[in-house]
Structure 1
Amino acid sequence: MPDAPRPTLLFVVTEDWYFRSHRLPTARAARDAGFDVAVACRVANDGAAIAAEGFRVIPLPWRRRSFNPLRALGDIRRLTRLYRRERPTIIHHIAVKPTVLGGFALALAGLRDTRVVATLAGLGLGLSGPGLKAGLGRVLLRCALNAAAWRRGHALVVQNGDDGALLAAGWPRPPAARLIRGSGVDLAHYEELADPMGPVTCAQVSRMLTLKGVEDLVAAVRQVRDQGIDLRLILAGSPDPDSPAAIPEATLRAWNAEPGIEWLGPVNDVRTVWSRAHIAVLASRGGEGVPKSLLEAASCGRAIVATDVPGSREVAVDGRNALLAPPRDPAALAAALTRLALDAPLRRRFGLASRSVVDPDFGETEVRRRMRDLYLGLVTPVPAPSRR
């Protein structure tokens, strides 16, 4: 008898760079568990690297910053045709836009045997904040989740408990969420690093966006330096012109010209940043899932200063390995940075604790195992009840 066809798993994600950065380990785990893997995304510079893993790449003509109704309808129509053509065993929507558009596309495609996974890697400021617009956005998201949930085998994954609670609190009630914290960090690659020499240095690794609080961090470091404390700041990341929250490159270059501030641009290996920095910072204004930059910094044994927002506080545990400050509050951020800059024993204690926060719960091995088990659980037939 011929071998049964392998189950197919289709990832639907906005950008190829995000898939390569955050989802390759999960895709490899699925491949090793026997799935044929395809990735539908906007293809820019990382499509070839994804294809080199043995995954089929399907280009999608969408962009993260474009969410007008007419274009959204076109995206839903394209996804509907894609789902009918591919007829995958499992579709995995990653992040809010694929979940919303893909959920409605699934309802139109009518593939009743296809299983669905939706991972919300943070709700973003547009959905997690207060106000009518955010509330209506959450209603739309819940409707999309419910549109895909009429089939057998649907799983909603959130990366922090705050997002799950926020979604569960409103109408219409979405499917029950399961918690898988983050996309995993390679604990062997990101080993604990020795403390650097020289002036105390803090660093933020992120896209250079206003919503990441980069402007707040720069203002905070200026306040610390105005007190006569020689605190240095490293900013590592690109401005991401596809985002409406992008900080202009001219602004970044102007900051780079200031004493004590260095903008590196994108960095291929962030271990080179953490080898120079005593303190990891993420001044995010909210909407995080579980920030990978904090996972990597904690794995390298760095003390953390972060804003007290969902997602960040999963890794930055106040008083254990981190000091937390309210978002959008440069003065409070400056106070936390000053305290750590002047207290070397506290920095060392926090740095030692950081590794224990992420190992093993946030490790790549643990996240891969949980996602693999989720996929296999969706395709494994449930035994019929025995008859006596």
Structure 2
Amino acid sequence: MNGDTAKPHIVFLVTEDWYFVSHRLSIAKAALAAGFRVTVVTRVSDCERVIREAGVDVCHLPGQRGGLNPFQQLAYCLKVHRLYRRLRPDIVHHVAMKPVIYGSIAARLAGVRNVVNALGGLGFVFTSSAPKARLLRPFVHGLLRIAMAGARTLLILQNRDDRQMLVEGRVIDEQRVRMIRGVGVDVGRYPEPTLRTDQCLVILPARLLRDKGVVEFAMAARQLKADGVVARFALVGAPDEQNPASLTSQEVDGWVREGFIEAWGWRDDMQQVVAQADLVCLPSYREGLPKALLEACAAGKAIVTTDTPGCREVVEHGENGLLVPVRDVDALAAALRTLIADPALRHCYGLNGRRLAQTQFSEHAALAASLAVYRELVPSR
């Protein structure tokens, strides 16, 4: 382990190393620059080198995000508890539902007082209408209340709808909620948008989950292709076998064989992918504050998304994109048709979105807000 042990120590608990790199590494770098020592506890796959090169220590924690086996969940909690006792963090920062619940319990058992819980969204249990999700919802709600019970526990949320749900549900007092609008985006990394009139490329950049609206996107693409609309429709992402809402590779392959969808798989060059797109679509059922839409704004791309928590935080209907009802294939197809047919309108929406990213969703502001939360708990830094 590297670093000065006299520095205040922040430990992130994140289920997957790739997610940490994508959504939290910039915050970790900012904490390092501000004088903290940083460790991430995560399941290591392919990103350990990138994390360590940034100056962050890594502790491998095997485990699966999915699954409901209570013995496996207890084992996960105990492993985290042992790591916290060994690492002796000044602050723990839990990201997403499973780390928030079990990490908070482990922190309390290990005597860690300062807890930051971050929910990018409320996940499968709260977004899905599947019987399993409805059955689990009261149980998870109760566990969240336990997780948020610590006097020095702060909760970071990304949109007002989630705050209202959790405060009115008595999960946490409003005074301990901190609103940070996503991880932010650096507009300077993206080229200025230009008016393009070539064949329109529409992308859906997300894990291939049903609650991301992937099926609705595919059905809208099929409908538009059948109506003679000339455009390309690409899924940029991969199935997530550990998520119960995941599509299968066979389903996606079937769409590709039919010829109305392209499947680009998981990509680590999203700046380039978004830059070559003409239109970004995310018909999700519910989000925290989707990074994919922030990147679309920064790149100056028009957006079609759903009028749902998280998504409507980023898109103002008729200004930088179009909002459609959740699970409505016809409305989604109509919105896509409108923007595919009108390059000038797409360009106008894209310019408006880029200004929005500069003024409301800057990476600098998001990082400063995160550091303010840490300093609230450890005032000396």
TM-score normalised by L of structure 2: 0.92
Provide the residue aligned with 1:386 in structure 2.
none
Q: 2-side partners of 1:4 and 1:254: how far apart?
A: 54
Provide the residue aligned with 2:168 in structure 1.
169
Q: 1-side partners of 2:177 and 2:127: how far apart?
A: 16
Provide the residue aligned with 1:201 in structure 2.
201
CA offsets 1:156-182 (integer angstroms, 9 cap, x no match): 110111111100011354463110010
Do the aligned partners of 1:231 and 1:260 also contact (CA within 8 Å) in 2? no
Q: SS state of the match for residue 285, structure 1?
A: coil
Once the 2 structures are TM-superposed, how far is the Cα of residue 116 of structure 1 from its aligned partner? 1.2
Q: 2-side partners of 1:181 and 1:21: how far apart?
A: 16
Q: Is 1:265–2:268 an aligned residue pair? A: no
For residues 12-161 of structure 1, the aligned pairs below 5 Å read: 12-111=13-112, 114-128=113-127, 131=134, 133-146=136-149, 149-150=150-151, 153-161=152-160
Letter aligned with residue 377 of structure 1: E
Do the aligned partners of 1:211 and 1:245 also contact (CA within 8 Å) in 2? yes
Q: 2-side partners of 1:135 and 1:247: how far apart?
A: 26
Larger radius of gyration: 1
Letter aligned with residue 142 of structure 2: V
Structure 1 residues 83, 174: CA separation in 2 closer, same or farther (over 3 Å shift)? farther
CA offsets 1:5-64 (integer angstroms, 9 cap, x no match): 111110011100000011111000000010110000111111121111111101112211
Instruction: Name structure 1 gaps, 5 residues minimum.
Output: 383-388
Provide the residue aligned with 2:327 in structure 1.
328
Structure 1 residues 195, 237: CA separation in 2 closer, same or farther (over 3 Å shift)? farther
Structure 1 residues 135, 331: CA separation in 2 closer, same or farther (over 3 Å shift)? farther
CA offsets 1:316-342 (integer angstroms, 9 cap, x no match): 221211111111111111111112122
Q: Is 1:254–2:254 an aligned residue pair? A: yes
Do the aligned partners of 2:144 and 2:171 also contact (CA within 8 Å) in 1? no
Q: 1-side partners of 2:349 and 2:127: how far apart?
A: 29
Provide the residue aligned with 1:186 in structure 2.
186
Once the 2 structures are TM-superposed, how far is the Cα of residue 300 of structure 1 from its aligned partner? 0.5
CA offsets 1:286-308 (integer angstroms, 9 cap, x no match): 2x111111111111101100011
Q: 2-side partners of 1:380 and 1:360: how far apart?
A: 28
Provide the residue aligned with 1:385 in structure 2.
none
Q: 1-side partners of 2:326 and 2:27: how far apart?
A: 31
Provide the residue aligned with 2:275 in structure 1.
275
Instruction: Name structure 2 gaps, 5 residues minimum.
Output: none
Q: 2-side partners of 1:208 and 1:324: how far apart?
A: 21
Q: SS state of the match for residue 107, structure 1?
A: helix
Structure 1 residues 14, 231: CA separation in 2 closer, same or farther (over 3 Å shift)? same
What is the percent sequence identity of the aligned residues? 40
Q: SS state of the match for residue 48, structure 1?
A: helix
Provide the residue aligned with 2:229 in structure 1.
229
Provide the residue aligned with 1:311 in structure 2.
310
Letter aligned with residue 147 of structure 2: A
Once the 2 structures are TM-superposed, how far is the Cα of residue 225 of structure 1 from its aligned partner? 2.1
Q: SS state of the match for residue 187, structure 2?
A: coil
Q: 2-side partners of 1:42 and 1:25: how far apart?
A: 19
Q: 2-side partners of 1:258 and 1:198: how far apart?
A: 23
Once the 2 structures are TM-superposed, how far is the Cα of residue 98 of structure 1 from its aligned partner? 0.5
Q: 1-side partners of 2:103 and 2:189: how far apart?
A: 34
Once the 2 structures are TM-superposed, how far is the Cα of residue 364 of structure 1 from its aligned partner? 1.3
Q: Is 1:216–2:216 an aligned residue pair? A: yes
Q: 2-side partners of 1:311 and 1:164: how far apart?
A: 11
How many residues are aligned here?
Answer: 373
Once the 2 structures are TM-superposed, how far is the Cα of residue 351 of structure 1 from its aligned partner? 1.1
Structure 1 residues 211, 68: CA separation in 2 closer, same or farther (over 3 Å shift)? same
Letter aligned with residue 345 of structure 2: L
Q: Say which is worse superposed, 273-282 or 320-329, in terms of deviation.
A: 273-282
CA offsets 1:72-131 (integer angstroms, 9 cap, x no match): 1111111121112211111111111111001111222233xx311111111113125675
Do the aligned partners of 1:121 and 1:289 also contact (CA within 8 Å) in 2? yes
Q: 2-side partners of 1:68 and 1:300: how far apart?
A: 42
Once the 2 structures are TM-superposed, how far is the Cα of residue 252 of structure 1 from its aligned partner? 2.0
Provide the residue aligned with 1:296 in structure 2.
295
Letter aligned with residue 229 of structure 2: I
CA offsets 1:256-290 (integer angstroms, 9 cap, x no match): 2333421111222123333332211001122x111
Letter aligned with residue 357 of structure 1: L
Q: 2-side partners of 1:318 and 1:245: how far apart?
A: 28
Once the 2 structures are TM-superposed, how far is the Cα of residue 209 of structure 1 from its aligned partner? 1.7
Do the aligned partners of 1:204 and 1:235 also contact (CA within 8 Å) in 2? yes
Q: 2-side partners of 1:100 and 1:331: how far apart?
A: 38
TM-score normalised by L of structure 1: 0.90
Q: SS state of the match for residue 188, structure 1?
A: helix
Letter aligned with residue 351 of structure 2: L
Structure 1 residues 381, 259: CA separation in 2 closer, same or farther (over 3 Å shift)? closer
Q: 1-side partners of 2:16 and 2:135: how far apart?
A: 29
Do the aligned partners of 2:124 and 2:245 also contact (CA within 8 Å) in 1? no
Once the 2 structures are TM-superposed, how far is the Cα of residue 350 of structure 1 from its aligned partner? 0.9
Provide the residue aligned with 2:362 in structure 1.
363
Letter aligned with residue 274 of structure 2: W
Letter aligned with residue 332 of structure 1: A
Q: SS state of the match for residue 266, structure 1?
A: coil
